[in-house]
Structure 1
């Protein structure tokens, strides 16, 4: 297996995360999943993304907007972060000065139950 490896979660299709998104948004998501670091971050400019994907910069912005609305990515120039496909209640909220939990890290049952109960309100 290569030293750098990424995969696409099957829930992306099964749970219909990309329903209503254009093929450009699908392509952008796949690119971001492939190039992001272990925290889901990437730093590609609109110009670089457009060149890599064969799109113009407006198409990149439109595709990114679709992914933002689908809650698949977060974006603040120049950073883009691929988000977890976990239900929002299990993602946790990040308060100022705290780091977001990294996928695959242990979480106490109390935290999970608290997130579920808090998310149901």
Structure 2
């Protein structure tokens, strides 16, 4: 079954003056670069390399992970953060590298306030819970 090509966000098609693999200088100059982690950068740059003139890529997530030598979990985390930062769109099959937003998006930091927050997001609390469950409910 052939995949039908379409642009995810037509109002965000990036403009490339010559060839593919274009990164505007404002990506660096206006602070987008420094807002990205190493994993976010390599995923973003690879998506730029494999996308067409409209920023659309049909590479599967497995193929991208293989090319990056990155485990799926790390890839998904970087992908989700790039979406939160409004740099890419994804519909489950197709990626689109978007035109840069007006300014870098800094996702809000969610503070850990209650027990549920810590059990869901704090590495040490999660480690303690796992250790406790592996030891039959006894503290180590």
TM category, shorter: 0.5 to 0.7
Deviations 1:74-120 (A, max 9, x none): 111101100001538xxxxxxxxxxxxxxxxxxxxxxxxxxxxxxxx
Would the aligned equivalents of 2:88 and 2:97 in 1 still touch at CA under 8 Å?
Answer: yes
Aligned counterpart, 1:47? 62
Aligned counterpart, 2:100? 85
Map of 1:46-65 to 2, 5 A cutoff?
Answer: 46-65=61-80
Aligned counterpart, 1:71? 86
**Residue from 21, 24, 35 that aligns with 2:39:** 24
User: Unmatched 5+ residue regions in structure 1?
Assistant: 89-121
Aligned counterpart, 2:25? 10
Would the aligned equivalents of 1:18 and 1:70 in 2 still touch at CA under 8 Å?
Answer: no
Distance of 2:83 and 2:71 partners within structure 1:
19
User: Number of residues paired by the alignment?
Assistant: 86
Aligned counterpart, 2:133? none
> Secondary structure at 1:19's aligned position in 2?
helix
CA drift at 1:4: 5.0
Aligned counterpart, 2:131? none
Would the aligned equivalents of 1:50 and 1:57 in 2 still touch at CA under 8 Å?
Answer: yes
TM-score (norm: length of structure 1): 0.64
Deviations 1:16-73 (A, max 9, x none): 1243422011001101111101111001222111100010111111111111111100
User: Unmatched 5+ residue regions in structure 2?
Assistant: 1-17, 104-140
Larger radius of gyration: 2
TM-score (norm: length of structure 2): 0.56
The root-mean-square deviation of aligned C-alpha atoms, in Å, is: 1.9
CA drift at 1:6: 2.3
